Structure 1
Amino acid sequence: MSVIVPVHKVQGYIRQCLDSILDSDISNLEVIAVDDHSPDGCGEILDEFAQRDPRVRVRHLDENVGLGHARNIGLDMATGDYVWFFDSDDHATEGAVRAICERLAETRPDVLVFDYARSYWSGKVKRSVINDLFREPPAPDVFTLQERPSVLEMMMTAWNKAIRREFLLDLGLRFSGGYYEDVNVTYPILMAAERLSLLDRVCYIYRQRRHGAITKTTGAKHFDAFAQYDRIFAFMDGMGEKADPFRHLMFDRTIWHLLVIIEREDRVHESDKARFFAEMSETYRRHEPPGHVPPDPEDKPFLADKHRMIKANDHRGFERVRAVEAKAQAARRRHRRVGRLSRRGVRMSKELAKDRYYRMQARLPVEEDLAVFAAYWYRGYACNPAAIYEKVRELAPDVRPVWVVKPGARSSMPDGVEYVVAGSPDYYRTLARAKYFVNNVNFPDFYVKRPEQVHLMTQHGTPLKKMGLDQMEYPVGAGDMDFEALITRSDRWDFLISSNPLSTEAWERGFPCGYEMLEIGYPRNDRLVTAGGDAAERARLRAELGLADDVTAILYAPTHRDYQRRYSPMFDIGRVMERLGEGHVLLLRAHYYYKIKNLAADLGWPRDRVVDVSGHRSVEDLMIASDALLTDYSSVMFDYANLDDRPIVIYANDWETYRLTRGVNFDLTATPPGAVATTEDELVDAFASRAAWGDAAAKDRADFRARFCPWDDGHAAERAVRRMFLGEKVPNPPR
């Protein structure tokens, strides 16, 4: 079997797609991936797969030709007995490829039809609503369409069918350009087939993306449907009397589909609907078969009236029928709502007063020079927002930046940085009136984004772990997260920063919203790129931390474990430091989720050898001051890799547990940024033997840096400011 996968702008989904097809030891399989001049990282990803799996063949096109023509190119390259046309943002179910191949071997059909399920961004997966057609009545192993015409009512897409290649080529059918490019192939092959077969199994997951589906884009392209159906009826005319048993059902399917297009609000422009309706009427007149029986008014009154109006070319009458139908549907919805209790509780008077004040301020004009900055749920001045803030003051001095902080974070704010305290009247006024918003997490749910306001989401780390909607498959990590609320908050973003190609893939999957992706590197890493080799700066920071020149300072920055209730070190820190000797000092930076006070003293560790820096204002200062990084799965490794080739040691004693409970985007143990230890002995040896400084570790760091730090050149913050605050179209760093 040849699986043909046209690829364009799906870098967040293509890995899952190909993994699902290749998740088998089937040798008589080839995957033909057609890179339809994709402007993102799809081409590189396809080449990765081809390098490690000889069953994958890649064709890179010099120009974008569209889905239909890309399928034709793949068909011309195919060598398999059967072809399966596969959309690159979808995926196969586990075991589907083997099940399809076994069914093909058993029945040798011209066309095999199998079932699918729709996968929604909310996590819901729903099998096709007409899956009963696979079973009622029971189908023989092989049949013709005349024996089972209900097959025409199944989803007429290319991806739920395996087609005998020579049969398809002999028919001379090709996918056309434009929208609905597969119907003029999928209907005719069923009519012409002498051997049809069904597989009552969900083999294909059809992803319902929130954004990006071509046929859910409003425009004149939907008029392409008329030409596609004309091609189908021309094919039937060429079949002569053999097509007569299918004409009535094919005609009803055509009108059904055209009704779907005109009645969906996201398809045909309102200004084009009269013209589209006139084309429908002409299609009805031209292709209605003799003796056609319209829908029964008793059974489907609205559909019967619509057919009557289409046949009479009465657009106004059609709209009247739709209006009556809409009223009937609204009445049914109102009836279902009767008796339901409101889910919103009564607010306390204090909260109500804040809400009223905020809404009053939101009716006043936006202050064009006011910018809001925040980080880590108002914990203080940090991360990417801090780097962008400093660049705003340099490049956009007319902008007035104001930070939002919790009451307890006021003492940590640098001198000269203006801020408001969360919950205060100034806080609500600032959120209501500011023009610009920069944050590395989302703002609260009560905030309502005004049309004039502009949001930049920076995120706060390269996502080794699953993020956003990807977390739905990992309930331990997701906890009680409200994914619908998460996406509602994320819909506010106008810009989203990506630090590397992996982040772009993960953000597109995890946050399928309408932002502009800024592939510019991480602003917070600008300082690491430019100051990492500054000996004077490094000496000053080490002196502030009390680090002698001759000690090896190891920054230990572990991540949060979703499967743990409280912070628990993964190894005996006191024992490890005793074994390493007096020449080593551990700078312990616990994750900000944990509220820890002087952990080193509490656990009896030697104070001069283990320094708790969890409360230190700047992790960048700690990185520059240190000699090496020790971490597990924290995103700090991606930042630290930008320093002047300093060692990184990964302690991965619970990798399998973390991978299964939190979910990860790649195998860190296979592509580490340096030495990897899984036991306490290996951890001590990585530092004591200086293996972390060795040639093998250095090569791993270089490979890691090339893959995950390609855009960190010291100018990320500048690119962010020029794009958001100055409105410049700044080119991204080269891929």
Structure 2
Amino acid sequence: MPRFSVIVPCFKVQGFLRECLDSVLGQSFGDLEVIAVDDRSPDGCGAILDEYAARDPRVKVLHLPENVGLGRARNAGMPHATGDYLLFLDSDDTLTPGALAAVAGRLAETADPDVLVFDYARTYWWGGTRRNVLAQVLAAEDGTFTAAERPEILDLLMVVWNKVYRRDFVTRHGFAFPPGYYEDTPWTFPVMLSAGRIATLDQICLHYRQRRQGNILSTTSRKHFDVHEQYERVFAFVEGDPELWRWRPYLHRKMGEHCLDILAKPDRLPPGDKAEFFRRTAEMFRTHKPEGTRAKGETRLLEGGYGAYLLRRRAAQAGREAGRRAARLRTAAGARARRGWSAVQSRRPLDPGLVVYSASSHRGMLGDPAAVYRAAKVIAPQLRGVWVVRDEETAATLPPDTEYVLLGSRRYLEVTARAAFFVNDVNWPGALAKRPGATHIQTHQGTPLKYLGADLLDRPGARLGFDVPRMLRRADRWDYGLVAGRHAELVWERAFPCHFTSVRTGSPRNDVLVGAGASRGREFRRRHGIPEDHTVVLYAPTRRDHVRGGHADRIDLAAFAADLGEDHTLVVRLHPSLANGPARGAGLSELARRGVVVDATDEPDAAEVMLASDALVTDYSSIMFDYAVLDRPIVVHADDWDTFRASRGAYLDITAQPPGHVTYSQPELVRLFESGAWRDRESAALRAGFRARFCEFEDGRAAERVVRTLLLGEAMPATGAARIPGPAVGADQLTRSS
């Protein structure tokens, strides 16, 4: 008996069907069967299903004699299912790699619940991907729960395909799909309300295809009246079980909101049918209104007639339009006021002691600008440092007593109009006008490996979404650019052909890495529960411009963590651009919850993460240049190097000039760690050569050098690779300027 029975109804999906079936049959967890139901499809679906059944015994095909619709096609497949769990997969959707293994693992962990709800992401025909906006609801608890214990589970999209169902639970209750347009509604509510044990999986297991012409529910048709009959079935189910009566107020409100949502959409109902739809909805709303309840929010519109509904809708629409007009006027007036204020401030003299800082597009006190700021507070306390942050939430992350301004605010306009110095690791907004006498210091974000700036003009795929000429116009404001080595100096001057001077200071944020002892990073280990005697391996992959969404699973993290052994901890830090996208939901969040790995993506201080680790595994991330300063082992995992270099472009062949051993497959990577070769003499020799080439100015005094030279105008302190490794110069060791 297989673990999963995947039921796939098919009708007019021949263009998507192979991708759907391949996503199931290609799963790493193979204990499954596919019940494919040909719902009398007029295209080539039936032949495709027979082809798959002929070559894979796990595929069973049912050819229905007539078209019965999605719900009843699912019903037709259920009697043929023999698996422990049922999964209903629409034939134009796909399972993500590793989905069934993750589901099976979570089912085992929660002792086979009645229902397990997993996450999904919408994939759009134009290439975009968007994760379920209510993914936080799936943040898993240790055990299981009921809908009464966590009612927010019912706020998720009421569909059948984001769950697996224990087959004997479905059989015992006799759950089945009714005919109709909204067949998922009278399945999902009864199932979820009846389940004694529900579990969740915070992992994207399914890609929900968004077709260019929309799905069947987005078409204009009287079939949308079916929603009333389907909710009648839900109400009847609840009425038949006194233990479920408590749900009547919730379902009453949900029905009203659902129907009003259909009515409000301009492309759902024929114009002549809207009044009838409203009247039927209002009648249902009155009929099923529980005693003592009051309509709330939009559902109050159902207590009047259709004419009153239209008046309220038109009034609300007019109010929204008036609000938008007022907002536009306020925006225009505010812009005029800001321009006037900026003009006034720009006529005042520059403040020679005012330094404005920003990092990573105003995300807080981070990276090189933060290191310069901390050094300036010690060396030159007479300088006034002000941070630009994007919102109050970001401001709350700043240390106490840090002066800041919100981007675009009046105070922002004032300080940026009068500051003598600007320190940033990316570009300032285009509206910021540089005044004569102001100095812009560009710290950059490390030593580059992949193409940047003007070099992206030869890589149309990599520059998607980047306006290179605009980027260069903003870079024209730079006066100085900080570099960690001659390689970086040459790259920045080639990629940004602008009028700035490269300064051989080193990277200020890396000062803490120079000569760092084993005791550094203990706070990170303690905070994440990592035993002191564990070997910590940091995995930090970069994004792929040639992959939709930028994320590609190049390593099976669970398998790698297991292969490293019980005395190792795998720490994962995704590229910052992937932190809030679907990449975390592809499996990392769930692995971190289970303690398989530590997710350090949100850690604000990358240096702290590096200091806590004993080795780095990366692909083509520039973090390797920073990590080399630590003089700890680095492994480059380059299984798609040729593809990456062809799509993005690279300034050097990292496989020919690596900072350590290079692997080209996961088994090869595992063998490297099992054998201990990851930290052998060859690894040390490669790392030493790499550091000499790319980290020659990293001597622990970069921040001090920036403050003394660029902010105070003192002579440049000498640099030299001979100082590596040496005692790290922290803020507490810097001497005050006289």
With normalisation by structure 2, the TM-score equals: 0.51
1:458 aligned residue: 443
- 2:593 and 2:449 mapped to 1: Cα distance? 33
Q: CA deviation at 1:734?
A: 4.6
Tell me how far apart the structure 2 counterparts of residues 392 and 501 of structure 1 sit (CA, whole Å).
26
Equivalent residue, structure 2, for 1:513:
498
Equivalent residue, structure 1, for 2:407: 422
Secondary structure class of the residue paired with 1:412: coil
Q: Residue 639 of structure 1 aligns with which residue?
A: 626
Taking the aligned partners of 1:606 and 1:479, their CA distance within structure 2 comes to 34
SS in 2 for 1:681: helix
What's the counterpart of residue 540 of structure 2? 557
Counterpart CA distance in 2 for 1:734 and 1:621 is 25
CA contact 2:699–2:720 (8 Å) conserved in 1: no
The Cα shift of 1:529 comes to 0.2
Residue 547 of structure 1 is matched in structure 2 by: 530
Q: How does 1:674-685 map to 2 (within 5 A)?
A: 674-685=660-671
Alpha-carbon contact 1:559-1:633 (below 8 Å) kept: yes
Q: Partner amino acid for 1:568?
A: A
1-side partners of 2:439 and 2:334: how far apart?
29
Provide the secondary structure at the position in 1 that maps to 2:577.
coil
Give, in whole Å, the separation in 2 of the partners of 1:570 and 1:416: 43
Q: For 1:369, what is the secondary structure of its paired residue?
A: strand
Q: Is the contact between residue 371 and residue 402 of structure 1 (CA under 8 Å) also seen in structure 2? A: yes
Cα distance in 1 between the residues matched to 2:593 and 2:472: 46
Hey, what does 1:591 align to over in structure 2? 575
Indicate the SS of the match to 2:698. coil
- Give 1:484's aligned residue: 469
Letter in 1 for 2:625: F
Per-residue CA shift, 1:273-330, capped at 9, x if unaligned?
Answer: xxxxxxxxxxxxxxxxxxxxxxxxxxxxxxxxxxxxxxxxxxxxxxxxxxxxxxxxxx
1:613 aligns with 2:600: yes
Aligned to 1:413: 398
- Where does residue 426 of structure 2 map in the other structure? 441
In 2, the alpha carbon distance for the partners of 1:419 and 1:481 equals: 29
* Among candidates 478, 487, 493, match of residue 502 of structure 1: 487
* 1:610 aligned partner, one-letter code: V
Distance 2:530 2:371 in 1: 26
Supply the AA of the counterpart residue of 1:635.
S
Question: Deviation of residue 421 (structure 1)?
Answer: 1.7
Checking the alignment, whether the CA contact within 8 Å between 1:382 and 1:618 is kept in structure 2 is yes
SS in 2 for 1:537: coil
What is the identity, as a one-letter code, of the residue corresponding to 1:625?
A
Listed one character per residue, the Cα deviations across residues 696-716 of structure 1 (whole Å, up to 9, x for unaligned) are 111111111111111111111
Contact 1:601 1:607 in 2 (8 A): no
CA distance in 1, matches of 2:520, 2:567: 22
Match status 1:702 vs 2:688 = yes
| Equivalent position of 2:372 in the other structure | 388
The superposition leaves residues 583-610 of structure 1 with CA deviations (integer Å, 9 ceiling, x where unpaired) of 2211111111123486556444663231
> Counterparts of 2:347 and 2:471 in 1: how far apart (Å)?
26
Q: Any idea what the Cα deviations from partners look like across 1:85-140, whole Å, max 9, x if unmatched?
A: xxxxxxxxxxxxxxxxxxxxxxxxxxxxxxxxxxxxxxxxxxxxxxxxxxxxxxxx
The answer to whether the 8 Å contact 1:412/1:617 transfers is no
- Alpha-carbon deviations, 1:644-693, whole Å to 9, x = none? x3111111111111111111100000011111111111121222222111
Q: Contact 1:384/1:524 (CA < 8 Å) preserved in 2?
A: yes
Q: Distance in 2 between matches of 1:355 and 1:431?
A: 13
- Aligned equivalent of 2:74: none
Indicate the larger mover: 347-356 or 662-671.
Answer: 347-356
Q: Could you list the per-position Cα deviations for residues 570-625 of structure 1 after superposition, in whole angstroms to 9, with x for gaps in the alignment? A: 12111221222222211111111123486556444663231111111211011111
For residue 524 of structure 2, what is the amino acid of its counterpart? L
Larger deviation: 350-359 or 367-376? Answer: 350-359
Corresponding residue to 2:338 among 325, 333, 354? 354
Q: Could you tell me how far apart the structure 1 residues matched to 2:529 and 2:409 are?
A: 39
Q: Does 1:667 find its partner at 2:668? A: no
Partner of 2:342: helix, strand, or coil? helix
Equivalent residue number for residue 307 of structure 2: none
Cα 1:595–1:542 change in 2 (3 A) is closer
CA distance in structure 2 between the aligned counterparts of 1:480 and 1:542, rounded to whole angstroms? 38
Residue by residue over 1:157-205, the C-alpha shift from the partner in whole angstroms, topping out at 9 and shown as x without a partner, is xxxxxxxxxxxxxxxxxxxxxxxxxxxxxxxxxxxxxxxxxxxxxxxxx
User: 1:585, 1:608 within 8 Å by CA — same for their partners in 2?
Assistant: no
Counterpart residue number, 1:528: 513
- Report if aligned partners of 2:543, 2:552 keep a CA contact under 8 Å in 1: no
Structure 1: how far apart are the matches of 2:579 and 2:335?
Answer: 28
Match of 1:593, SS state, is helix
Selected match of 1:403 from 364, 373, 387: 387
Look up the SS of the partner of 1:478 in the other structure: coil
State the identity as a percent: 40
**2: distance between equivalents of 1:542 and 1:604?**
18
- The 2-side partners of 1:693 and 1:576 are apart by 18
From 655, 666, 688, the counterpart of 2:641:
655
AA partner of residue 542 (structure 2): T
Query: Is the 2:544–2:552 Cα contact (8 Å) retained in structure 1?
Result: no
Q: CA deviation at 1:521?
A: 1.2
Question: Deviation per CA, 1:546-577, whole angstroms, max 9, x where unpaired?
Answer: 21012111111111221223233212111221
Residue in 1 aligned with 2:520? 537
The reply to whether residue 715 of structure 1 matches residue 698 of structure 2 is no
User: Of 593, 608, 614, which residue of structure 2 is paired with 1:627?
Assistant: 614
Change (3 A) 1:604 1:615: closer
Q: Which residue of 2 aligns with 1:580?
A: 564
- Alignment map for 1:161-200 (pairs within 5 Å): none
Query: Is the Cα–Cα contact under 8 Å of residues 671 and 704 in structure 1 kept in the other structure?
Result: yes
Residues in 1 aligned to 2:355 and 2:594: alpha-carbon distance in whole angstroms: 42
**CA-based RMSD:** 2.1
1:330-383 per-residue CA deviation (whole Å, 9 max, x = no partner) reads xxxxxxxxxxxxxxx998443343333333322222222111011111111111
Distance in structure 2 (CA, Å) of the matches to 1:734 and 1:687: 33
* 8 Å CA contact 2:592, 2:598 repeated in 1: no
Is residue 591–residue 597 contact of structure 2 (8 Å, CA) maintained in 1?
Answer: no
**Structure 1: segments with no counterpart, 5+ residues:** 1-344
Q: How many residue pairs are counted as aligned between the two chains?
A: 388
Question: Partner of 1:590: helix, strand, or coil?
Answer: coil
TM superposition score normalised by structure 1: 0.51
Q: Distance in 1 between matches of 2:414 and 2:642?
A: 47
Given that 1:630 and 1:650 are in contact with CA atoms closer than 8 Å, whether structure 2 keeps it comes out as yes
CA distance in 2 between partners of 1:371 and 1:641 (Å): 31
Q: Give the structure 1 partner of residue 351 of structure 2.
A: 367
On the 8 A contact 1:519/1:732 being kept in 2, the answer is no
State the AA in 2 paired with 1:541.
F
**One-letter amino acid matched to 1:412:** T
SS at match of 1:456: strand
Long gaps (5+) in structure 2: 1-327, 722-738
